[in-house]
Amino acid sequence: MKIEISIRHSTKHDAETLMALYAEPQNYANTLQLPFPNLQKWESFAENASPNFYSLVAEVDGQVVGQIGLDVFTSPRRKHVGNIGMGVLAQWQGKGIGSALLEAMCDLAFNWLALKRVELEVYTDNPTAIALYEKYGFDIEGTAKQYAFRNGEYVDVYLMAKVV
């Protein structure tokens, strides 16, 4: 049975839901989020997002099940570039949510915001995410050693990008 996924821009009313999404261990472990998120931080994030930041959520039956953010650089020499990050609720992973979010954000980035390059960082031990990004044309361009501190140790990331 195919699920119906709808994509929309996130709003300030999504703050609590987004906090819960990134409070899940696999989501804070695979992003730069921290455990025990603070609702006030998420409310401030939702209400005070910069005009060069775009946040989309995926909904199934009215429930937010995933989120992707795109930060477009403002430097005149890098305004053709954006950086993305995303998360999907654990029980919805492997059901097309990540694909729907990534497809929608790439459409926005390349067909409406005139970006030429979208970058991301992904932990080298996250083969599921790497496969998703490669499926949508992202290439590994390098490795950043000891990029982030996670669960008591420094871990590496792949630097990936899609260039059109």
Domain limits, the chain: 6-120
Report whether 77 contacts 47 (CB < 8 A).
no
**Which 8-state DSSP code applies to residue 74?**
-
Pairing of strands 53-60, 6-9: antiparallel
Q: Does residue 10 carry a pLDDT above 90? A: yes
pTM of the model: 0.94
The residues with which 81 forms a beta bridge, in sequence order, are: 117
* 3 state SS of 1: coil
Q: Which tens digits make up the pLDDT trace of 65-94?
A: 999 999 999 999 999 999 999 999 999 999
**6-120, superfamily in CATH?**
Gcn5-related N-acetyltransferase (GNAT) (3.40.630.30)
Q: How does the average pLDDT of the chain come out, rounded?
A: 95
Measured CA to CA, the distance from residue 66 to residue 17 in angstroms comes to: 10
Nearest Cα to Cα of residue 108 among 138, 77, 71: 71
Q: Which tens digits make up the pLDDT trace of 91-147?
A: 999 999 999 999 999 999 999 999 999 999 999 999 999 999 999 999 999 999 999
